Amino acid sequence: MKILKQQLAWLIPLGMLLAISAQAQLPVVLGDGEPMPSLAPMMERVTPAVVNIATFTNVEVRNPLFDDPFFRRFFDVPSMEQRYRRTRSAGSGVIVDAAKGYILTNDHVVSRADEITVTLADGRTLEATLVGADAQVDLAVLRIDPDELAEEAAPAAARFGDSASLRVGDFVVAIGNPFGLGQTVTSGIISAIGRSGLGVDGYEDFIQTDASINPGNSGGALVNLRGELVGINTAIIAPAGGNVGIGFAIPANMAQAIMAELIEHGEVRRGHLGLRIQGLNVELARAFGTDLREGVVVTGVDVDSPAAAAGLATGDVLLRLGERRLRNATDFRARAAVIMVGDSVEIEYMRDGERKIVRIDIPEDQFEKVAGERLHPLLNGTLLQNHRGGSEREVAAGVALLDVTEGSRAWRNGLRAGDIIVSANQRTSRNLSDLTQGIKLSQRNPVLRIWRDGQFYQVRLR
């Protein structure tokens, strides 16, 4: 589980919430033989779809003395000796397609794993392979052999619910594997929706809940009272060193869109609209002569972009992107997270007091563009985009530097526009998601391998 603000301490006793009926209230008196209100029937249907995930990673342990040639000669230590230790971590996942063996979980649960195993609710342990991952949204898809899954009574896959219909106050249940204790169920309500500003990497559009979420719950299910999957548990805030009832889940609608892209392509091919935006405020509304108090102002349109082709211009106030109403910049970024190459999306906007609607098509060559500082502070001043090789002299895949601001730290470190990053800290970077994970392997000074003018170079960010 991602822990925000401070590290979580050990489990603390939690008061049990009152049992709740479908109408969210208990009868005052129960007649003889009348069943007690309980979520047990729904849990019996849903919990088999939630699995425990164990990951194993071989971490290199190198003694600095081995780098000293005198020490190696004196003790006759081979110059290339390496030592490894095997680490284990735990998380949760949700079976979303039993027939094909697909499991949805968090990227941070499996991102560094050399081996992944899945333990089903009936106790069976199966090997899993990584289908694809998206660090920007913190989701990953695993696959287990569906034939092995069906050897005994196969668990039914979780059924997706509509996370866009959630309201603050709706009852929800979190299911996962906290602290490696085994499958655990906690309950609460939706505390907020569309939560952002948490300081995590990538896109933020979280469901906030007070259902107890702890380390090990990552990748587990957040379900409504019908047993529908409405979120994937991912993070908590723990300022006092224990669970304080502030947990976060990725909305199911976003998870479903990312999952489909990962299954089909093995990566997320986000489209690039070509819009630079800012949330509408009183000053901007006055400057653009509008009475609107909610929306997103277009502050720039990239040349030759899909937005430019559709006729959008600086000063337009965006009101809706696809089916999502745009109240602020967070709403825009959350919807943009699931706009893929090849999609066609409708935009409603205001210009000169008149509401207009336009449709934007995302062609195959318009991949997502990301400001480098979103991945690492030392990449501030860069603009990055997934790269697809177009000739035999180019690398097949990587992350292209579209722009590097002269005088920025990235510039001073030697990065230039046109460079293609092919690995970070010796981890292959086929796309932005891979680069994000590779950079995380180094706490301070990432080492990038770049392709420039037909040659490879090493660049350490300082």
Same domain, 338 and 244: no
Is the pLDDT assigned to residue 98 strictly greater than 80? yes
Mean pLDDT for all residues in the chain: 82
- Under the banding of pLDDT at 50, 70 and 90, the label for residue 76 is low
Give the percent of the chain with pLDDT over 70. 81
Closest to 249 (Cα-Cα) out of 277, 275, 224, 274: 224
CA–CA dist 136, 95 (Å, integer) = 22
In a domain, 24, yes or no: no
Q: What is the pLDDT of residue 30?
A: 63
Which of 123, 149, 175 is the last residue before a domain boundary? 149
CATH of the domain at 122: 2.40.10.10
Instruction: Give the total number of structural domains in the chain.
Output: 4
Q: What is the pLDDT of residue 200?
A: 63
Q: Which domain holds residue 344?
A: 275-361
- Under the banding of pLDDT at 50, 70 and 90, the label for residue 453 is confident
Strand pairing partners for 374?
Answer: none
Closest to 148 (Cα-Cα) out of 126, 129, 119: 126
CATH of the domain at 354: 2.30.42.10
Is the pLDDT assigned to residue 423 strictly greater than 60? yes
Give the mean model confidence (pLDDT) for residues 10-38: 49
Which is more confidently placed, 32 or 386? 386
Which of 240, 265, 290 is the last residue before a domain boundary? 265
- Under the banding of pLDDT at 50, 70 and 90, the label for residue 18 is very low
In a domain, 287, yes or no: yes
In a domain, 68, yes or no: yes
Q: By the 8 A CB rule, do 79 and 149 touch? A: no
Which is more confidently placed, 24 or 364? 364
Q: What is the pLDDT of residue 236?
A: 75
Output the pTM of the full model. Answer: 0.76
The yes-or-no answer on residue 138 being catalytic is yes
Catalytic residue among 191, 218, 305, 433: 218
Q: What is the pLDDT of residue 199?
A: 62
Q: What is the pLDDT of residue 165?
A: 93
- Mind listing the pLDDT tens digit for each residue in 185-214? 999 999 999 888 776 666 888 999 999 888
Is the pLDDT assigned to residue 330 strictly greater than 60? yes
Catalytic residue among 138, 210, 316, 419: 138
Taking phi over 0 as left and psi of -120 to 50 as alpha, with beta for the rest, 76 belongs to left
In a domain, 56, yes or no: yes
Q: What is the DSSP string of 288-337?
A: TT----SSEEEEEE-TTSHHHHTT--TT-EEEEETTEE-SSHHHHHHHHT
In a domain, 382, yes or no: yes
Give the mean model confidence (pLDDT) for residues 81-91: 71
Is the pLDDT assigned to residue 6 strictly greater than 50? no
Two structure tokens written together for 437: 């994970």
The yes-or-no answer on residue 108 being catalytic is yes
Look up tokens 């047993």; give the residue: 227
How far, rounded to the nearest angstrom, does the alpha carbon of residue 183 sit from its chain's CA centroid?
Answer: 23
Same domain, 236 and 304: no
Give the percent of the chain with pLDDT over 90. 39
Q: What is the pLDDT of residue 11?
A: 29
CA–CA dist 133, 211 (Å, integer) = 26
Which of 149, 177, 194 is the last residue before a domain boundary? 149
Catalytic residue among 92, 107, 108, 433: 108
Is the pLDDT assigned to residue 97 strictly greater than 80? yes
